[in-house]
Chain A
Amino acid sequence: MIFVLEKREAPSPLWRWLSPLLAIALAVLAGAVMFAILGHDPAAALYVYFIEPLTSAWSIEELIVKATPLVMTGAGLAMAYRANVWNIGAEGQLIMGALAGSMIPILTPGWNDPLALLAMLILAAAGGALWGWIPAVLKNRFNANEILTSLMLVYVAQLFLDWLVRGPWRDPKGFNFPKSVTFEGWHVLPAISGRVHLGAILALLAVLILWWMLARMTYGFSVRVMGSAPRAGLFAGFSAQKTTTAAFLLSGALAGLAGISEVSGSIGQLQPSISPGYGFTAIIVAFLGRLSPLGALFAGLLLALTYLGGESAQLALNISDKVAQAFQGILLFFILASDTLVNYRFRRAASREGRT
């Protein structure tokens, strides 16, 4: 081994800023190699993937639409991961939130006023929070690993949605397609500009509120302490169980809100699949944003670009849009690798007398 890691005395403030940029640069480079292997001119492919979606008004709108659920969910996950609580079932909480919110247009179609919309949002947040609460309870009461339980609940939520839209919630006038009734009037999140809907404002608000909570409120302080020094947190009187519960409720509620904003603002009805894995991509958003709500805002926009780029690459170059998911995985690897530079520096190993 030629280079060895050496722990920095304090985390490097410079690399805190540089590491996400380095990760993005390396991931783009890896993307170029990937395109070359798939038999495309890397420069042209990169242009189609990363630049072209930013050159027209409609595609910038589309970028914001896709970033909306990612930012909302990612900001919530950032708070959970900060507290060292591993909620990786956001995809399930997103779905359950969407289902809870959709109860109003589907079960009480007559109630169609601004209050109904508000109720949809509240129900969605509650639904997501409730689904997130399950792994928290199982962790606190029975010591069950929250990573595995929250992930298992994603599959359960997906199948529950599938059952609802093919069974009880299928639109009776929908020619047997597995879809719910189309949302109308106040059941739809109002548009701001083109396809951009009120969800984008909600995402922005969520980011600001979380940022404020983290910086100014005791809860935010407890999150930071329990994440970085759990023992000190316990001595200060913070409860590990309450931290876990709060982190799951908060990240679950935001994922649920993202779910209804996607269904009500963008899709307009329930269908067997309502998310191309936003809940999982939001994990990458949280890490690229350095586990900060404000960071999640920028990271969400970038990850939205990878979805959009995937679509435009499929149209222009006939590359499968699955390239987006592969690229997102590569990006997360580079983010984590670059983050090592925040806490460690590389030093050339002087001699080989020490052990490796």
Chain B
Amino acid sequence: MTMLQAVLLTIITASTPLLLAAVGELVVERAGVLNLGVEGMMAAGAMAAFAAGHYTGNPWAGVLAGALAGMIMVLPFAFLTQTLATNQVATGLALTLLGLGLSGLLGESFVGQPGVRLPRLHVPGLSDIPFIGPVVFSHDILVYASFALVAAVAWFLFGTRAGLILRAIGVNHAAAHALGYPVIKVRYAAILFGGALAGLAGAYLSLSYTPQWIENMTAGRGWIALALVVFATWRPLRVLGGAYLFGAVWIMGLYVQAAGFGVPSQLLTALPYIVTIVALVIISRNRTLTLTNTPASIGIPFVPDR
């Protein structure tokens, strides 16, 4: 495998968790809910996926456990923000703190334990294409699932009636409610979907990216996924592009570090976070672009008036 192949391969693996989490959060935000708990759900998903894989020896059980953990973790957030109409920013932060805390606590015994790895698919023919085969067609299922999910979410949001209703709720929940759409129920569903995908993103980290459990192994990816949704101006295909851009930055840092140009390793590790800030600034300064796409009801609690 050539150097270029290796770089491209690792960019795909670094981008996948960002993409999974960001696509989930995109649906949540399109429904008008801001969930800042992505980092916490991802950590819980990573820990649960590792634990399930470790005990059963079956990576598929890990994938399932990761998605379920994300959904279970997000339940209190959904109940508080939707049923009790709490402040979404604060509740999302609570979710992140709880997710990081619980995964650290329950995962302590798994530190240093061997994990299982999600098998890489081998597609006869495709995987054997020179150069492209090893880079594109020999990943595990979650990589392809992330692409399929982007397509599915894009189709759902912009090609179906249910997607139109979800977006309408995100733009103006009072009007949607007046038209008879079940605002709270749709938002519950969107939040659970976001939880499942954040959990899957975590599962990818602990079953494929680095098949082990380390506390705080999410390393801010959940927060970067949140920034990605803004960066992509709430559009699924742009989330795809953004995730790969950030994945490339993440990997670039690692390779420059390995090459040893005398740049402090800490600066290279900090690169993805700095690039996130720069990207947010570039996209946000264009107010027409952000304002026309921002779901207008985002972050505002909804209590139906009877």
Contacts and interface: CB of A to CB of B under 8 A. Distances in A.
A43 interface: no
Interface string A272-296: 0000000010011001000000000
A156 B85 CA distance: 34
A323 B182 contact: no
Contact of A5 (B85, B93, B101, B227): B85
Given A287-B90, A344-B303, A329 B223 contact: no
Contact of A145 (B80, B86, B102, B280): B280
A336 B101 contact: no
Q: How large, as a class, is the contact surface on chain B?
A: 35 or more
Given A151-B223, A336-B86, A159 B266 contact: yes
B94 interface: yes
Contacts of A327: 101
A248 to B, nearest CB: 15
Chain A interface SS verdict (over half):
helix
B270 A280 contact: no
Contacts of B185: 356
B293 to A, nearest CB: 13
A152 interface: yes
Contacts of B220: 151-152, 155
Contacts of A326: 98, 101-102, 104-105
Given A163-B266, A323-B105, A148 B84 contact: no
Interface in A318-340: 320, 322-330, 332-333, 336-337, 339-340
A210 interface: no
Given A145-B280, A155-B220, A355 B99 contact: no
Given A159-B269, A326-B101, A355-B180, A152 B276 contact: yes
Contact of A143 (B97, B99, B285): B285
24 contacts: A86-B89, A138-B280, A142-B281, A143-B284, A143-B285, A145-B227, A145-B230, A148-B223, A148-B226, A148-B227, A149-B277, A152-B277, A155-B220, A155-B273, A156-B274, A159-B266, A284-B97, A322-B108, A329-B101, A336-B91, A337-B80, A355-B177, A355-B304, A356-B184
